[in-house]
Amino acid sequence: MTLTIGVDVGGTKIAAGVVNEDGEILAISRKPTPARDAAKSVQTVIDVVNTLKDSYDVSAVGIGAPGFIDNARSSIILAPNVSWQNEPLAMKVAQAVSLPVFLENDANAAAWGEYRFGAAKGRSSAITVTVGTGIGGGVIIEGNLLRGSYGFAAEIGHMNMVPEGLLCGCGENGCWEMYASGNALVRVARERATKSPKLASRMLELCEGKIDQLNGYMVTQAANDGDPAARTCFQDLGRWLGQGIADLAAIFDPEVFVLSGGVSEAGDLLLGPVRNEFEMRLTARTLRPLPSIVLAKLGNYAGLIGAANLALQ
């Protein structure tokens, strides 16, 4: 069986794994990301690959990296979290490890992993919506990963949902991720805890009264414990997500949506409101089969496995 190495470049750590054709990870190597030093980040990718390459006979390397990737899948145009700008990553790694290297956007790689081996396995068309600090996505239609003419496709977190809405890190106003991401959940939870403390007693208990320390895990915990304000936050978040997913369904008509990322760990707390809103908003909903909305299965390894499998091709 052919083996490849998949690399997942994150803002805090770089993980690489030897993966077989069935999407099984045979070995893993990890190192912290020297995120402020572009050259050292490249070297860390090389180091984690070399660590594994010494022990396994691998045929190629796939890298899932954050940011914008050129259409040739060889250079990073911009990845602010890792200080990369016009970085010819694939070429540098290929020269250093003497293997073919394939580069892909990390959200696309994760979507591909879920499509081949995870929650969307066996489906023809699937969209992964990654709800973390922001919103990322990957669109696979009839077996093809959508990259776009210039390599910029599926930046779904920056769909404009609210004209003149909240200012996003991308410089525009009203992007979807300003309302439906983990950061949005925490922002709204802090507002609710400040304005309606009686309804947020469990959240306040978990953050020991320090509202600026309230995080997504605490909001999820409080909602699971029945905190009314925290539950309302998930209903709000679910509504925003359901609306955006209905828009994506109107455009792409996939069989399944896969929800992944840290916020998806809230499970039914999130899925219920998302499905409700989605079913109310989907265009032509009385005439058509409804796509399913499911939780991701591969967790943090989706990107690594997806990148490895893309390199196989």
By CB under 5 A, how many residues form the interface with Zn ion? 5
Least Å from the CB of residue 200 to Zn ion: 28
158 is a site residue for Zn ion (CB under 5 A):
yes
Least Å from the CB of residue 169 to Zn ion: 6
Least Å from the CB of residue 274 to Zn ion: 21
167 is a site residue for Zn ion (CB under 5 A):
no
**Of 133-141, 166-174, 205-213, 296-304: span binding Zn ion (CB under 5 A):** 166-174
Least Å from the CB of residue 77 to Zn ion: 17
Task: Name the residue nearer to Zn ion (CB basis): 185 or 203.
Answer: 185
Binding mask 76-95 for Zn ion (x = CB under 5 A): --------------------
Token pair listed for 61: 């390397």
* Whole-angstrom distance, CA of residue 5 vs CA of residue 28: 9
State how far the alpha carbon of 264 is from the alpha carbons of 59, 134, 238, 304, in Å: 34, 13, 11, 19
**Of 133-141, 173-181, 228-236, 302-310: span binding Zn ion (CB under 5 A):** 173-181
161 is a site residue for Zn ion (CB under 5 A):
no
175 is a site residue for Zn ion (CB under 5 A):
yes
**Of 26-34, 171-179, 207-215, 298-306: span binding Zn ion (CB under 5 A):** 171-179
Give DSSP secondary structure letters for 157-219: GGSB-STT-SBPTTS-BSBTHHHHSHHHHHHHHHHHHHH-GGGGHHHHHHTTT-GGG--HHHH
168 is a site residue for Zn ion (CB under 5 A):
yes
Task: Name the residue nearer to Zn ion (CB basis): 172 or 253.
Answer: 172
Coil, strand or helix at 313 = coil
Token pair listed for 87: 């970085």
Token pair listed for 266: 């809230």
In total, the chain counts a number of residues equal to: 313
Contact indicator for 270, 232 with CB cutoff of 8 Å: no
**One residue of 167, 170, 250, 280 binding Zn ion per CB under 5 A:** 170
Binding mask 25-44 for Zn ion (x = CB under 5 A): --------------------
Task: Identify the CA nearest to 42 among candidates 77, 101, 90, 104.
Answer: 90
Least Å from the CB of residue 176 to Zn ion: 8
**Of 62-70, 94-102, 170-178, 210-218: span binding Zn ion (CB under 5 A):** 170-178
Task: Name the residue nearer to Zn ion (CB basis): 170 or 280.
Answer: 170
DSSP 276: H
* Whole-angstrom distance, CA of residue 71 vs CA of residue 69: 7
Residue 213, classified by CB atoms within 10 Å of its CB into exposed (0-12), middle (13-18) or buried (19+), is exposed
Please report, as ranges, the residues that interact with Zn ion according to CB under 5 A.
Answer: 158, 168, 170, 172, 175
